[in-house]
Amino acid sequence: METEIINLLKKENKLSDNTIEEIQNINIDDFSNIVKEIGKQETDHINAEEISKDLNTEYIGKNLYVFKEVNSTNTLARFLSMNDAEMGTVIISEKQTKAKGRSGKSWESPLGGVWLSIIINPSVDYSKIPLITLATGVAVAKTLEKIGVENPEIKWPNDIMINGKKVCGILTEAVTKLNTIENVIIGVGIDANLNVSDFPEELQEGTTTLKEELHKEGNENKLIQLFLEEFEKINELFNEKEYEVILKEWRKRSYSIGKIVEVREPFNTYYDAYVLGISKDGALIVEKIDGTLEKVISGECIIKN
Ligand code: BTN
């Protein structure tokens, strides 16, 4: 990860090319201060001031860093979170060159999308992490409803769909120390002001964008502001342990419940099943062809009907 931070600093001319000595002399706090400094510089498309102007939150996005290009906002957020970044810090980048998707996949992040990560530090154990992801999905869906998307749906666990096509993905990562969760990084990628043709051919069939669904370009700053507000509201419900309220909102927008899916669990266990619902802990409950019930905690579900 440090290499990625160093590359960012080099690109921004914060380090010269003969850097080895230079780097050895910089301590980690200085590193993160330089990164924060770069994140306060002016950017071309996303405007931190515009986002902050009407931002109605207590703590989410109060520290906001916007970059022109980074490898991955999640990677940067993880780095900053290990160096005392405040709860609710938001990292945004206009472009990402090595963005991470779920299950070790990469994530296309051209200019025009909304690529951001939020640092939170909930005092919960691992079993509650899937719920944070579901909650984030609800926050994205509510944001899209606010900007006029008619029926955004959530495909378990965290794909936001419009008319059966994916418009947003969420990647949650825990930062741990001695087996306890220090921070959680929530990465959100929304295909906002993009055309489907901006994506590689193999992704185009299952992808949509806000611009294409709403037939117009939208204001990315406003979209981010609305999302951060929705996120804080749902994060508060999460902190108050109002899990049922979150799950109810999720179920209302579920794309998965009632469908036949191919479940692809890690370590290559694949089977067909009917989706019955989600459990209290955010797992998918499915009925297999032989009538047995399964709880799917992680993996993918490919919709078959
Ligand atoms: C998925 O595979 O559906 C999850 C995609 C998550 C992408 C976002 S974009 C912002 C953040 N930074 C990353 O590297 N990934 C997440």
- Class (C level, CATH) for 260-303: mainly beta
Look up the pTM and report it: 0.93
| Chain-centre distance for alpha carbon 61 | 14
Ranges assigned E (strand) in 200-240:
none
Q: What is the DSSP letter of 82?
A: T
List, chain by chain if needed, residues with CB within 6 Å of any ligand 1 atom. 72-74, 96, 99-102, 105, 107, 109, 115-117, 159, 169-171, 187-189
The number of the ligand 1 atom at minimal distance from the alpha carbon of 166 is: 3
The number of the ligand 1 atom at minimal distance from the alpha carbon of 169 is: 3
Q: Which residue's C-alpha comes closest to atom 15 of ligand 1?
A: 100
Residue 264's DSSP bridge partners are 270, 300
The number of the ligand 1 atom at minimal distance from the alpha carbon of 102 is: 2
Distance of CA 99 from the midpoint of ligand 1 (Å): 6
Distance of CA 2 from the midpoint of ligand 1 (Å): 20
Check pLDDT > 80 for residue 253: yes
Q: Render pLDDT for 132-163 as a digit per residue (tens, 0 to 9).
A: 999 999 999 999 999 999 999 999 988 999 99
CATH fold of 39-252, please?
Answer: BirA Bifunctional Protein; domain 2 (3.30.930)
Distance of CA 289 from the midpoint of ligand 1 (Å): 33
Check pLDDT > 60 for residue 20: no
The angle that helices 73-81 and 2-11 make with each other, rounded to 10 degrees, is 110
User: What residues does each domain of the chain span?
Assistant: 39-252, 260-303
Distance of CA 18 from the midpoint of ligand 1 (Å): 33
Q: Render pLDDT for 200-232 as a digit per residue (tens, 0 to 9).
A: 999 999 999 999 999 999 999 999 999 999 999
Distance of CA 140 from the midpoint of ligand 1 (Å): 13
Of residues 162 and 30, more confidently modeled: 162
- Tally of helices (H runs) and strands (E runs) in the chain: 10, 12
Residue 88 and residue 167: Cα distance in Å, rounded?
24
Tokens of 66: 């916007």
What pLDDT score does 15 carry?
A: 67
Q: Residue 303 half-sphere exposure, CB side, CA atoms within 13 Å? A: 17
Q: Which residue's C-alpha comes closest to atom 9 of ligand 1?
A: 189
